[in-house]
């Protein structure tokens, strides 16, 4: 079995946008069916906004043939063909591992690609096109991607402003589960902050100058509580967390009005608007922690630098997993022998067990069971010794 039968054809983030748009798979199921009709034994399609890649395992079909399929399927012109990448064997294995770890993403270690890799193998299984080799490959890629993010801590180095905002809040309260959070503004950053707060278990209240828009948002995020804009200071006074992200050209939370309602409780306020929503003087009040978008951007830049420093660590993890996959693949060649050793060991132990109990008289069922267990243990030890020898020589 040749590991070079694992192959990949496709384009990635380094390909011009006009080509990436052209080769985005709209119906992956349809494409998988067509590729299987081409004669591929196993095939998985990974299609995202930054890459369109066909992974396949075949002893008969070459990368050139799949490249031709790619060209014809999307109607590519000659000047685009040069961007199609073809790799195989351990290079293809290493590539999908790097992709799953976020090493091939625009943002190193980003999370979305991991779920997209998982979705790719799930879809392939739905259409019965993944097979033993690619299922193992993609399953290992997903497992490695999770491990890399957890073990290195790269997943905690947030780059999203709204996510960092919630991280700042967590540093103030340690645990925000059950805390009352008040979000002002329904823009993208405001909505992301709401979702992050809800994920952390906070009780989220939301307001916006246009009340109807707030009602519409509740249909999309039913966990939020809608608050009329006129009552915002009342809710600010009773909240543990306040996040403001509006487009207003002036302060939406003034120093004077805040002072009127503030009761001295510990409160964390995060201003992710530009121009600022919260009068900066509020941050000087005892009991108030105030963070601005500059604080968040500074953290994002620091996190970005730290992510880049982790690249060699993750690359080492990838190399180790490539070696493990190669060893697993080599054992496939001796799999029939392993099965035969296990079958023969099982046959011997059963035969010997029957021979012994037939000769013995007045033996209790418990003693018979003990004899059976002992014989099985001996047979398994001998079989495992032989299997280990086979595997070591396969490597």
Residues recognised as catalytic: 49
Strand bridging mode 267-271 / 288-291? parallel
Residues with Cβ < 8 Å from 47, sequence gap 6 or more?
Answer: 24, 25, 28, 53, 120
Instruction: Name the one residue in this structure whose structure tokens are 């050209």.
Output: 249
> Could you tell me if residue 184 is left (phi over 0), alpha (psi between -120 and 50 degrees) or otherwise beta?
beta
- Token pair in block for residue 245: 């992200």
Q: CA-CA distance, 9 to 331, in Å (whole number)? A: 26
Can you give the length of the chain in residues? 395
Q: CA-CA distance, 298 to 309, in Å (whole number)? A: 17
Element (H, E) at 225: strand 225-226
Coil, helix or strand for 206? Answer: strand
Q: CA-CA distance, 146 to 226, in Å (whole number)? A: 36
Number of neighbours of residue 168 by Cβ within 10 angstroms:
19
Tell me how far CA of residue 20 lies from CA of 47, 50, 220, 228, in angstroms: 10, 7, 31, 44
Residue 169 near residue 291 (C-beta atoms within 8 A): no
């Amino acid at each position: 079995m040749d590991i070079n039968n694992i192959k990949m054809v496709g384009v990635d983030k380094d390909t011009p946008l006009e080509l990436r748009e052209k080769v985005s798979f709209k119906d992956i199921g349809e494409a998988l069916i067509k590729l299987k009709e081409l004669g591929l034994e196993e095939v998985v399609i990974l299609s995202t906004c930054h890459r369109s890649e066909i992974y396949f395992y075949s002893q008969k079909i070459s990368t050139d043939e799949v490249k031709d399929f790619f060209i014809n399927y999307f109607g590519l012109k000659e000047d685009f063909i040069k961007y199609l990448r073809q790799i195989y064997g351990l290079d293809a294995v290493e590539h999908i591992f790097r992709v799953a770890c976020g090493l091939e993403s625009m943002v190193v270690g980003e999370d979305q690609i991991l779920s997209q890799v998982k979705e790719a193998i799930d879809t392939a299984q739905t259409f019965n096109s993944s097979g033993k080799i690619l299922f193992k490959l993609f399953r290992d890629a997903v497992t490695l991607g999770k491990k890399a993010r957890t073990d290195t801590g790269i997943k905690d180095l947030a780059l999203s402003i709204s996510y960092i905002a919630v991280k700042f809040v967590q540093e103030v309260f340690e645990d925000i589960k059950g805390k009352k959070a008040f979000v002002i503004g329904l823009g993208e950053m405001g909505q992301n902050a709401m979702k992050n707060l809800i994920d952390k278990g906070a009780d989220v209240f939301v307001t916006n100058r246009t009340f109807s828009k707030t009602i519409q948002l509740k249909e999309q995020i039913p966990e939020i509580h809608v608050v009329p804009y006129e009552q915002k200071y009342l809710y600010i006074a009773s909240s543990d967390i306040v996040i403001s992200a509006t487009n207003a050209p002036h302060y939406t939370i003034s120093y004077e009005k805040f002072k009127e309602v503030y009761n001295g409780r510990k409160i964390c306020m995060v201003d992710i608007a530009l121009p600022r929503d919260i009068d900066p003087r509020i941050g000087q009040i005892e009991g108030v922690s105030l963070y601005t978008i500059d604080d968040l951007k500074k953290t994002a830049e620091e996190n970005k630098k730290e992510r880049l420093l982790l690249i060699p660590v993750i690359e080492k993890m990838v190399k180790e997993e490539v070696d493990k996959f190669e060893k697993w693949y080599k054992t496939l060649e001796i799999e029939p022998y392993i099965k035969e050793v296990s079958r023969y060991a099982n046959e011997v132990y059963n035969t010997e067990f029957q021979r012994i109990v037939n000769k013995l008289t007045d033996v209790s069922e418990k003693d018979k069971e003990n004899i059976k267990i002992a014989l099985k243990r001996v047979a398994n030890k001998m079989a495992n010794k032989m299997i280990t020898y086979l595997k070591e020589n396969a490597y």
